[in-house]
Protein backbone atom coordinates (compact mmCIF):
# COMPACT_ATOMS: atom_id res chain seq x y z
CA UNK A 1 0.00 0.00 0.00
CA UNK A 2 1.51 3.27 -0.98
CA UNK A 3 0.85 6.51 0.74
CA UNK A 4 -0.39 9.40 -1.16
CA UNK A 5 1.71 12.59 -1.15
CA UNK A 6 -1.05 14.43 0.67
CA UNK A 7 -1.06 12.01 3.59
CA UNK A 8 2.73 12.07 3.87
CA UNK A 9 2.92 15.84 3.94
CA UNK A 10 0.22 16.07 6.61
CA UNK A 11 2.22 13.66 8.86
CA UNK A 12 5.35 15.75 8.46
CA UNK A 13 3.45 18.91 9.28
CA UNK A 14 2.07 17.34 12.48
CA UNK A 15 5.51 16.28 13.76
CA UNK A 16 7.08 19.67 13.09
CA UNK A 17 5.00 21.26 15.85
CA UNK A 18 6.33 18.89 18.57
CA UNK A 19 9.19 20.05 20.80
CA UNK A 20 12.56 18.36 20.45
CA UNK A 21 13.37 15.58 22.90
CA UNK A 22 15.56 16.88 25.74
CA UNK A 23 17.50 14.95 28.36
CA UNK A 24 17.08 16.11 31.95
CA UNK A 25 19.49 13.74 33.71
CA UNK A 26 22.39 15.04 35.81
CA UNK A 27 24.78 13.77 33.17
CA UNK A 28 23.63 16.44 30.75
CA UNK A 29 22.54 19.14 33.24
CA UNK A 30 25.44 20.77 35.13
CA UNK A 31 23.08 22.90 37.28
CA UNK A 32 21.32 19.79 38.59
CA UNK A 33 24.66 18.11 39.23
CA UNK A 34 25.81 21.15 41.25
CA UNK A 35 22.59 21.17 43.30
CA UNK A 36 22.98 17.48 44.18
CA UNK A 37 26.62 17.94 45.20
CA UNK A 38 25.80 21.01 47.31
CA UNK A 39 22.89 19.23 49.00
CA UNK A 40 24.96 16.19 49.92
CA UNK A 41 27.88 18.36 51.08
CA UNK A 42 25.61 20.47 53.30
CA UNK A 43 24.00 17.39 54.85
CA UNK A 44 27.43 15.88 55.58
CA UNK A 45 28.68 19.14 57.10
CA UNK A 46 25.64 19.36 59.39
CA UNK A 47 26.07 15.74 60.49
CA UNK A 48 29.80 16.22 61.20
CA UNK A 49 29.03 19.38 63.21
CA UNK A 50 26.41 17.57 65.30
CA UNK A 51 28.72 14.62 66.00
CA UNK A 52 31.66 16.88 66.89
CA UNK A 53 29.49 19.03 69.20
CA UNK A 54 28.17 15.93 70.96
CA UNK A 55 31.69 14.60 71.52
CA UNK A 56 32.93 17.95 72.88
CA UNK A 57 29.95 18.37 75.24
CA UNK A 58 30.27 14.83 76.60
CA UNK A 59 33.99 15.31 77.22
CA UNK A 60 33.31 18.62 78.96
CA UNK A 61 30.62 17.07 81.20
CA UNK A 62 32.86 14.12 82.07
CA UNK A 63 35.68 16.48 83.03
CA UNK A 64 33.32 18.60 85.14
CA UNK A 65 32.09 15.52 87.04
CA UNK A 66 35.62 14.33 87.76
CA UNK A 67 36.59 17.76 89.16
CA UNK A 68 34.28 17.19 92.15
CA UNK A 69 35.72 13.87 93.25
CA UNK A 70 39.04 14.94 94.73
CA UNK A 71 38.09 18.23 96.38
CA UNK A 72 37.34 18.96 99.99
CA UNK A 73 33.67 19.77 100.62
CA UNK A 74 34.44 22.70 102.90
CA UNK A 75 36.82 24.24 100.37
CA UNK A 76 34.16 24.12 97.66
CA UNK A 77 31.23 25.56 99.58
CA UNK A 78 33.04 27.38 102.39
CA UNK A 79 30.75 25.98 105.05
CA UNK A 80 31.20 27.00 108.63
CA UNK A 81 30.93 24.23 111.17
CA UNK A 82 29.54 24.63 114.65
CA UNK A 83 29.47 22.24 117.56
CA UNK A 84 26.22 20.49 118.32
CA UNK A 85 25.83 22.49 121.56
CA UNK A 86 26.28 25.77 119.67
CA UNK A 87 23.75 24.72 116.99
CA UNK A 88 21.27 23.71 119.66
CA UNK A 89 21.62 27.16 121.23
CA UNK A 90 21.35 28.93 117.83
CA UNK A 91 18.11 27.08 117.01
CA UNK A 92 16.59 27.41 120.49
CA UNK A 93 16.77 23.64 120.99
CA UNK A 94 15.54 22.95 117.43
CA UNK A 95 12.15 24.48 118.21
CA UNK A 96 11.24 25.90 114.79
CA UNK A 97 11.27 23.42 111.87
CA UNK A 98 11.41 25.06 108.45
CA UNK A 99 11.26 21.86 106.45
CA UNK A 100 12.64 18.42 105.78
CA UNK A 101 14.86 17.52 102.87
CA UNK A 102 16.59 14.49 101.51
CA UNK A 103 19.67 15.12 103.62
CA UNK A 104 18.06 16.13 106.90
CA UNK A 105 15.74 18.50 108.73
CA UNK A 106 16.08 22.29 108.39
CA UNK A 107 15.59 24.52 111.43
CA UNK A 108 15.36 28.29 111.87
CA UNK A 109 18.15 29.82 113.90
CA UNK A 110 20.13 32.99 114.58
CA UNK A 111 23.86 33.47 114.13
CA UNK A 112 25.76 33.59 117.42
CA UNK A 113 27.84 36.61 116.35
CA UNK A 114 25.38 39.07 117.90
CA UNK A 115 24.06 40.33 114.54
CA UNK A 116 20.78 38.47 114.96
CA UNK A 117 20.93 37.29 111.36
CA UNK A 118 18.34 34.59 110.64
CA UNK A 119 19.77 31.39 109.24
CA UNK A 120 18.55 28.00 108.13
CA UNK A 121 20.36 25.19 109.90
CA UNK A 122 20.37 21.73 108.40
CA UNK A 123 21.21 18.76 110.57
CA UNK A 124 22.63 16.19 108.18
CA UNK A 125 21.57 12.57 108.20
CA UNK A 126 24.07 9.84 107.50
CA UNK A 127 24.64 9.96 103.76
CA UNK A 128 26.42 7.78 101.28
CA UNK A 129 29.13 9.03 98.99
CA UNK A 130 31.48 11.97 99.41
CA UNK A 131 28.84 14.67 99.91
CA UNK A 132 28.60 15.65 96.25
CA UNK A 133 24.78 15.59 96.35
CA UNK A 134 24.73 17.89 99.38
CA UNK A 135 27.14 20.30 97.69
CA UNK A 136 24.88 20.42 94.64
CA UNK A 137 21.90 21.16 96.90
CA UNK A 138 23.74 24.02 98.65
CA UNK A 139 25.02 25.47 95.38
CA UNK A 140 21.54 25.44 93.85
CA UNK A 141 20.13 27.71 96.59
For residue 116, the model assigns a pLDDT of: 81
CA dihedral 74, 79, 84, 87 (to 10 degrees): 180
Residue 105, in any domain of the structure: yes
pTM of the predicted structure, to 2 decimals: 0.39
Answer whether 99's CB lies under 8 Å from 115's CB. Answer: no
Domain count along the chain: 2
The span from the CA of 103 to the CA of 137, in Å, is: 9
Instruction: Provide the CATH number for the domain around residue 87.
Output: 3.30.200.20
Q: What is the 3-state secondary structure (H, E, C) of 2-47?
A: CCCHHHHHHHHHHHHCCCCCCCCCCCCCHHHHHHHHHHHHHHHHHH
Q: Which domain holds residue 49?
A: 26-71
Stated as kind and residue range, the H or E segment containing 109 is strand 104-110
**Residue 122 known to bind ligand:** yes
The pLDDT tens digits of the residues spanning 61-71 come to: 877 765 555 55
Residue 4 covered by a domain:
no
Residue 133 covered by a domain? no
pLDDT in tens, 80-138: 777 888 888 889 998 999 988 777 888 999 988 878 888 888 877 766 665 666 666 66
Is 84 inside a domain boundary?
yes
Amino acid sequence: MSKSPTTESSLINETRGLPKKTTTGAKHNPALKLKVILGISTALLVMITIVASTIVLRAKNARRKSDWSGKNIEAIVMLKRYSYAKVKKMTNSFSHVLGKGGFGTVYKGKLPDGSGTDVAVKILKDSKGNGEEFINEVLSC
